[in-house]
Structure 1
Amino acid sequence: MIPESIVLAELERDALTEIVNIGVSRAASSLRKMIGDQVFLSVPSIEVVSQKRAARLISEREVTDLVAVRQDFSGPFSGRALLIFPETNSLELVRAVTGGELSAQDVLDMEQEALAETGNVILNSCLATMANMLRRSLTMTIPEVLRGTGASLFEVSEDGKTDGLVLFLYIDFAVRSRDIRGYIAMIMDLPSLAMLKELLGEFIERVVGEDGI
């Protein structure tokens, strides 16, 4: 059960979706420069769910193993950011990023490096934009590539004691006309989500104040 104190009101959810969309459009622009081709990214939905529910949401949608790029962030709100792809999509992404001209073996050899770089661009853009628009600063660790199931990526414990919450974003991702779906997830504890909610409230007040002039 999500505590009432951190449930996002409709306006807060809209504001966060807008902020994250600006972040991913900046990421798309950076990736476009990196690979010299059109990149489309959008975030159609945002939910706050338990770690267990986040793992289940991905397991319901994806039957293959998952690949994720992980970066921890700290500041006024802290947590762990994950950019997650189904394994089949991750190789498609590497082909797109490397121009589609490599052999199958070369794609596999380059996968780790290309994924880390792509994850770094996308997660950094999202988090830096959030921090900037909320007038705060965040520190991020270097990206790490992980593989596993939804349960292992979201660190769901068998004893049911997993109590973190996940800001869960589904992203549509198209590069070089390849449709690649993925997910951005930010695992945060209650104090961090409460702080994020507070900062979103301040952001909305600023925007409303400016519009009201």
Structure 2
Amino acid sequence: MSLNNEDLDAIRELVNIGVGRAAAMLNEITCSHIILHVPTLQVIRIDELDAACGLPVEGTAATVKIDFKGFFTGTTALIFPPESAAALVMAITGENGDQPELDAIRIETLTEVGNIFINGVMGSIGNVLGQQITYTPPLYVEDSIAQIVWNARFHADERVLLANTRFFVEDINVEGIIAMILEIGSLETLLEKIAAVRGE
């Protein structure tokens, strides 16, 4: 399915609202200014996800993912390249997350940040569209993005709505990427709800 400019703008606006809300919370946690880049949106195949995120196909990333269901169904993930994950943990906890004995602190910290961001985005979508969305608890994984998706319930026919929203935490060089993976039919449903809210 291809999206026209109007569709892209509508989804981008929803994602921006949620990321902005989440960034304000992260700003308080890190005491650093958060710089947001307007998301690029595209519909791609699952096997194109790593390349589209700018990650090596064989590389691993620290990823927090939450499954959701309601008027549309899928998974939203917050992806940190390895260097960004380590820098963010150090900024929040003061500890070097690369030390093996601190793995539990690293995972807990990144999971909480992922939870804040993903709930900010999905909560905003639900609120603006007047729809209820339910979530699974956040899950932290380290693997290639494509492998994470293949290990879940998704099939080759699914397409990824990649809301490639990058944010930077000033002074500590942290980058994060948000990807929304939708089951077949969910993208169409999302667009229909947006149109209904707009009175189209």
TM-score band by shorter chain is 0.7 to 0.9
- In structure 2, the residue matched to 1:209 is none
Local SS of the residue matching 1:116: helix
Find the aligned partners of 1:66 and 1:114 in 2 and give their Cα distance.
Answer: 15
Q: How many percent of aligned residue pairs carry the same amino acid?
A: 30
Deviation of 1:137 after TM superposition, in Å, equals 1.3
| In structure 1, C-alpha distance between the alignment counterparts of 2:191 and 2:71, rounded to whole Å | 12
* Residue equivalent to 2:89: 94
Q: TM-score, normalised by structure 2?
A: 0.87
The runs of 4+ residues in structure 1 deviating greater than 6 Å are: none
Residue 83 of structure 1 contacts residue 185 of structure 1 at CA under 8 Å; is this kept in 2?
yes
Coordinate RMSD, CA, aligned: 2.1
The structure with more radius of gyration? 1
Do structure 1's residue 170 and structure 2's residue 182 form an aligned pair?
A: no
1:93-112 aligned at under 5 Å gives the runs 93-98=88-93, 101-103=94-96, 105=99, 108-112=103-107
Q: Tell me the distance in 1 between the aligned counterparts of 2:114 and 2:26.
A: 10
In structure 1, the residue matched to 2:175 is 181
Structure 2: which 5+ residue stretches go unaligned?
A: none
In the TM superposition, residue 169 of structure 1 has moved relative to its aligned partner by 1.8
Taking structure 1 as the reference length, the TM-score comes to 0.82
TM-aligned CA deviation for residue 108 of structure 1: 4.0
Check 1:35–1:179 CA distance in 2 against 1; reply closer, same or farther (3 A cut).
Answer: closer
Q: Is the 8 A contact 1:116 1:143 kept in 2?
A: yes
State how far apart, in whole Å, the 1-side matches of 2:182 and 2:39 are.
21
- Stretches of structure 1 that go unaligned for 5 or more consecutive residues are 207-213
Matches for 1:1-213 after TM superposition, within 5 Å: 2=1, 7-58=2-53, 61-63=54-56, 64-98=59-93, 101-103=94-96, 105=99, 108-155=103-150, 162-205=156-199
**1:211 matched residue in structure 2:** none
Amino acid at match of 2:169: V
SS of match in other structure, 1:129: helix
Cα distance in 2, alignment partners of residues 40 and 47 from structure 1: 22
Q: Deviations over 1:69-128 (max 9, x none)?
A: 010111000111111111221111211222xx3245375442100010000000000000
CA distance in 1, matches of 2:8, 2:50: 21
Q: Are the equivalent residues in 1 in contact too, given 2:67–2:136 (CA < 8 A)?
A: yes
- 1:34/1:117 CA distance change after superposition, 3 Å: same
Tell me the SS of whatever aligns to 1:205: coil
State how many pairs are aligned: 194
